[in-house]
């Protein structure tokens, strides 16, 4: 039987990645415990061993892009019977329980989005837009995010006086932009207290008609329907068991002739789970939807009026976030520590690599209710 070190060498060589090679995308092993960790825990072990300092790579994004392009990740799986058994149990539990139920969703949101506003202020653009930028004709992250916000507003065909609901509104970058530049009134749903507090402060400082609501989308009941509904970078937290419920909630909140825009990361195949390391350390219980799953969710409720895929722009966005994070690390190091630095570097750059090789997509989907006329913004696109 081939030992784990030799097997890893052979797998990586298939995608031209060498162990202890001299090129930027080669990996450098500092502790042979890496091999045991990977074959015991699979992709979870790859990430954990990186955070523990067992290995390094100058250009993580380039290495991951090669590994995913060659589907090597699918062959790095836990090997022990114990792990195989636990995966079976985990699958059954997912059938019995909803891992994205409301009480759990609150904890999962807090674990990531309430880490500290100082981290996100250092990493993001000045509006604190924590979703993919639109880099067409953009010179930097600031312009890419402004272009994305304006793109969404134009696709929504916003007009002065309209009421807009933003499901998963972050720090209000979109709501503030839409209120300031298009004269609309915005309500935003979030489960993050840190985001709501800072976001409301930013809106109030400009006197904008923006309101944060600390409530799950499944609990929210509007007094009257909204002219437009939008959700940017939140659907990845909904989970397959709740896709239909999510779209039914949008249907209830949206006026008959309204328009809904969904901005989400998308995958090429349907699944009910994500990378185990990302699930454990970055986005607990997050799941990347497929187009088939979205199609089932909107069946009979909405027409798909426009689909725009600009996934490669997320590669540029993540790399820009990493550079900001790295540049500001001296200001953050005392609070967050070296282990967090390696964890955040691994998160940002491995995700960049996934978008670079088109393992992940970024979709903007314009939807209208069945029987509603096509909006002007879509007809003229």
Active-site annotation, residues: 351
111-128 CB burial, b ≥16 within 10 A, e <16: eebeeebebbebbbbebb
Which residues, in sequence order, are CB contacts of 97 under 8 Å at separation 6+? Answer: none
Residue 124 · residue 321 · CB < 8 Å: yes
Two tokens, residue 6: 């030799």
Two tokens, residue 58: 């100058």
Closest CA to 364 of 152, 141, 187: 152
338 Rama class: left (phi>0) / alpha (psi -120 to 50) / beta: alpha
What's the rounded Cα separation, in Å, for the pair 338 and 331?
13
Dihedral (C-alpha) 166, 168, 170, 171: value to the nearest 10 degrees? 40
What's the rounded Cα separation, in Å, for the pair 140 and 161?
32
Q: What angle do CA 370, 263, 118 make, to 5 degrees?
A: 145
What's the rounded Cα separation, in Å, for the pair 19 and 40?
19
280 Rama class: left (phi>0) / alpha (psi -120 to 50) / beta: alpha
């Amino acid at each position: 039987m081939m030992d784990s070190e030799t097997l890893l060498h052979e797998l990586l060589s298939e995608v031209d990645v060498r162990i202890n090679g001299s090129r930027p995308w080669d990996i450098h092993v500092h502790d042979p415990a890496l091999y045991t960790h990977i074959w015991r825990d699979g992709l979870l072990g790859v990430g954990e061993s990186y955070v523990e300092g067992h290995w390094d790579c100058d250009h993580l994004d380039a290495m991951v892009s090669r590994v995913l392009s060659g589907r090597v990740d699918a062959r790095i799986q836990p090997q022990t019977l114990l792990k195989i058994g636990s995966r079976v149990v985990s699958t059954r539990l997912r059938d019995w329980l909803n891992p994205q139920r409301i009480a759990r969703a609150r904890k999962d949101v807090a674990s990531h989005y309430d880490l500290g506003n100082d981290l996100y202020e250092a990493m993001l653009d000045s509006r604190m837009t924590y979703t993919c930028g639109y880099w067409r004709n953009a010179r930097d992250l600031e312009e890419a995010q402004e272009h994305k916000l304006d793109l969404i507003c134009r696709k929504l065909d916003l007009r002065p006086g309209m009421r807009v609901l933003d499901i998963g509104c972050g720090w209000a970058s979109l709501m503030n932009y839409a209120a300031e530049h298009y004269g609309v009134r915005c309500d935003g749903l979030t489960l993050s207290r840190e985001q709501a507090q800072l976001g409301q402060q930013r809106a109030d400082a400009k006197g904008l008609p923006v309101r944060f609501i600390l409530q799950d989308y499944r609990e929210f009941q509007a007094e009257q329907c909204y002219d437009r509904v939008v959700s940017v970078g939140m659907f990845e937290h909904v989970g397959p068991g709740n896709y239909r419920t999510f779209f039914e909630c949008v249907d209830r909140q949206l006026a008959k002739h309204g328009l809904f825009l969904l901005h989400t990361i998308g995958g090429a195949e349907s699944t009910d789970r994500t990378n185990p390391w990302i699930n454990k350390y970055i986005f607990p219980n997050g799941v990347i939807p497929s187009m088939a799953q979205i199609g089932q969710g909107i069946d009979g409720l909405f027409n798909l009026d426009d689909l725009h895929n600009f996934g490669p722009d997320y590669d540029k966005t993540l790399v820009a976030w990493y550079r900001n994070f790295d540049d500001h690390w001296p200001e953050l190091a005392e609070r967050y520590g070296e282990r967090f630095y390696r964890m955040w570097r691994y998160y940002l750059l491995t995700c960049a690599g996934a978008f670079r090789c088109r393992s992940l997509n970024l979709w903007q989907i314009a939807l209208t209710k069945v029987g509603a006329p096509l909006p002007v913004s879509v007809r003229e696109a």
